[in-house]
A and B are shown apart, each in its own frame.
Chain A
């Protein structure tokens, strides 16, 4: 199970890579593995804003449906449109080409409050 050290994590299995201003968001290796074959994503539109913890989208595998929650509040700046035709990228490369969207962080303190890689690893390896 991959849990890169340079990312922050949520209890609901999203990851975020932050440069202090913009956060890139995806779902974790653990999440993609639990969901199985991902076949459909509903992602937010650029320009829309969300609070931390709000539902921003949906990921669907053959097996099940799962909400995607905003790891931090802010405005969506970009969505990974390549996933429309290749949702399986989320399975194959959850921390790379399987990224979901970018968000302009309203409050960078929210990032600090997320789980570290070691906290998250401890959570999923329990």
Chain B
């Protein structure tokens, strides 16, 4: 067990590697009740969200979601989140556990008329169902949403919301429901998934899975001092939609050129697992450090993410990573490090 965002959570149930493979090959379920939920509604909700979030909510049909950022004035990341349009003027935001309070306070501070913001994180439990067989597992429960969409789903007469999203690079769902139902739903999913080889999965495999597909972790790969442009996530920023917090800084950064980029690395020789904060070298000179790192269970080598000066951030660039005083060879790779071959 480990402390994460104020929650006591299992790193693994049986084995990080077995849980990882279960999600890549079959299906796994994760307790993600630590995630926060914020509801935004009111006649001015649409316009207000477009002023505090980087992506453009105008593009969302009812039931559709998008990945987006809550930015500070410097264009730095306060949080990365998913916003769903539930109705014309009602939105559901899923935010990081460690940032619930900070996000909520930031939103309160920037609040304007015609908008109501409700932190309902303590009401919701959530479970992620991830893996190529997750749709099969969920099939008998009702009509399922399409990619990046959310809809209501009744499970044994209980109202839940189900989104087709995830943090693993596999097909999958995130199910939101009142906290009291958690044991019932958790056990039901394990029962339904038994013939499919379902496994309960912990934070350990959640991390190895997301690093393989280069999804950032806020607090490690994202911070108030790094912008989405530096993180290589500019496609979730709409600079043309009109004013929003952080826009000016991002426009200036785009014009001047992004100095550093979050890059994906992969060991090219046998090495210990990569871990956060290991220093990176090029031509004998220290050029940065890892923000995330692990041993990839799928690729069988050390992999990681780290910010590199633009001149070193190109795929194919040869680097060295220092582990306990010894340097190991690594290449900058195209993101993602792992891509499903269908």
- Closest CB in chain A relative to B39 CB, distance in Å: 36
Are the CB atoms of B204 and A60 closer together than 8 Å? no
- Closest CB in chain A relative to B115 CB, distance in Å: 43
**Interface of chain B, main secondary structure:** loop
| C-alpha gap A42/B272 in the complex (Å) | 9
**CB nearest neighbor in A for B324:** A58
Pick from A36, A37, A60, A63: contact of B272, CB under 8 Å: A60
Residues of B close to A62: CB separation below 8 A = 16-17, 204, 208, 273, 294-295, 297
One digit per residue, 1 when the CB lies within 8 angstroms of any chain B CB and 0 when it does not, for chain A 31-57 equals 000001101101000000000000000
| C-alpha gap A63/B203 in the complex (Å) | 10
| C-alpha gap A56/B121 in the complex (Å) | 48
Residues of A close to B12: CB separation below 8 A = 36, 63
| A124 interfacial by beta-carbon distance below 8 Å | no
| B317 interfacial by beta-carbon distance below 8 Å | no
One digit per residue, 1 when the CB lies within 8 angstroms of any chain A CB and 0 when it does not, for chain B 1-22 equals 0000000000110011110000
| C-alpha gap A63/B275 in the complex (Å) | 10
Residues of B close to A40: CB separation below 8 A = 271-273, 295
| A65 interfacial by beta-carbon distance below 8 Å | yes
Are the CB atoms of A37 and B15 closer together than 8 Å? yes
- Closest CB in chain B relative to A100 CB, distance in Å: 16
Pick from B11, B17, B273, B297: contact of A60, CB under 8 Å: B273
How many interface residues does B have (CB within 8 Å)? 16
| C-alpha gap A42/B294 in the complex (Å) | 17
Are the CB atoms of A36 and B204 closer together than 8 Å? yes
- Closest CB in chain B relative to A68 CB, distance in Å: 13
Residues of A close to B208: CB separation below 8 A = 62
Are the CB atoms of A63 and B324 closer together than 8 Å? no
One digit per residue, 1 when the CB lies within 8 angstroms of any chain B CB and 0 when it does not, for chain A 58-102 equals 101111010000000000000000000000000000000000000
**30 A/B residue pairs, CB under 8 Å, sorted by A:** A36-B12, A36-B204, A37-B15, A37-B16, A37-B17, A37-B18, A37-B297, A39-B17, A39-B273, A40-B272, A40-B273, A40-B295, A42-B324, A58-B272, A58-B324, A60-B272, A60-B273, A61-B16, A62-B16, A62-B17, A62-B204, A62-B208, A62-B273, A62-B295, A62-B297, A63-B11, A63-B16, A63-B204, A65-B272, A65-B275
Q: Which residues of A contact B (CB under 8 A)?
A: 36-37, 39-40, 42, 58, 60-63, 65
Q: Which residues of B contact A (CB under 8 A)?
A: 11-12, 15-18, 204, 208, 271-273, 275, 294-295, 297, 324
Q: Given A36-B11, A58-B272, output 4 extra A-B contacts at Cβ < 8 Å.
A: A36-B16, A37-B15, A60-B272, A62-B16
